[in-house]
Structure 1
Amino acid sequence: MRLEDYELPTPDFEKLFRAEVLLSDPFPLGEAGGGYREIVAVTGGSFEGAINGEILDFGGDWGLLHSDTINELNTKYLLKTDDGAYISVECSGKLIMDYEDMTGSGDGDNADYYFRQTIRFTAGEKKYSWLNEIVAVAVSVITPDGNVCLDAYKLV
């Protein structure tokens, strides 16, 4: 069989929720081999969509700035749904922007930076166990006050 003979499904996305993740000022660790490391605490927030609730004041992002433009993100935080279930969130991604200039417009389609993440959910409650079985991604922007707004999608 030739490569072009394989029929593969075209990916589609189903929106899970929109979230605003509130952040602290960064804690700079400095040059850490392979880049400049800083930690930014997650201090709260909310999410609405297929599931709703609050983002707890628990977790953070361990960013590694590889150059003046490439930030490799590694974020972990905790969701609490409106019905009291806890869901762990782990994000990996890239924020590509001019850090010398720090001029991101933050208005979605017109943002002058690239901010994308993959998401891994861990849920113990049976009602939310379907989150353990999906591949999810997020499209994100930096808000004018320095927080993150993201739309999370399930890859179907």
Structure 2
Amino acid sequence: MTPPILNPVCELRVDLDPIMSLGEGRAGLRRIIPIVGGTVQGPRLQGRILDLGADWQTIWTNGTAELDTRYAMQTDDGAIIDIRNYGYRHGPADVMAALARGEDVAPSSYYMRTQARLETGDPRYAWVNSTLFVGTGQRQSAQVILSLFAID
């Protein structure tokens, strides 16, 4: 079998509102981070992140953030694409504490990986409905930067 190839699709720059904490739940600290806009730039997708959606996070007792997002983009030519992104962010305690304080840290100093599903009814982008995607990310104080790759 041939190993899969990762092909760049786009970079998502997702703008965030402040974190809303729900407190401790059954699985850990529950948080909602509203997604309020952003940009999409890349070889296969270009557009803007719409002002809707959120990351419904759980912070486990070991410090791992379970990322569970749902939001949408509008391409430059008018297509609406639903994005569902699930992943993990974790790293050394001092790095994670710096992120929690809103400090920018090198993305190589922690792990932030996702798997994404995209969906649209626009025939120009029907290929996203049957493609698997993975991402590597970086958390900044008010933004997440995510490089999205198609698994070909």
Per the normalisation by structure 2, the TM-score is 0.90
1:142 partnered with 2:142: no
Among candidates 75, 88, 104, match of residue 69 of structure 2: 75
Deviation at 1:142, TM superposition (A): 1.4
1:87 partnered with 2:77: no
Secondary structure of 2:97's counterpart equals coil
Cα distance in 1, alignment partners of residues 105 and 124 from structure 2: 34
Identity %: 28
1:117 partnered with 2:110: no
The question of whether the paired residues in 1 share the 8 Å contact of 2:90 and 2:96 is answered with no
**Structure with the greater alpha carbon radius of gyration:** 1
Q: 1:73-95 CA distances to partner (integer Å, 9 max, x unpaired)?
A: 10000100001110000000001
The aligned residue for residue 3 of structure 1 is none
Deviation at 1:66, TM superposition (A): 0.6
Root-mean-square deviation (CA, aligned residues, Å) is 1.6
Structure 1 gaps, min length 5: 1-7
1:154 partnered with 2:150: yes
Cα distance in 1, alignment partners of residues 84 and 134 from structure 2: 11
CA spacing shift, 1:100–1:119, aligned 2, 3 Å = closer
Q: 1:115-138 CA distances to partner (integer Å, 9 max, x unpaired)?
A: 000000011100001000011001
Cα distance in 1, alignment partners of residues 106 and 145 from structure 2: 10
Among candidates 105, 123, 128, match of residue 126 of structure 1: 123
1:113 maps to a residue whose letter is Y
Number of residue pairs matched?
146
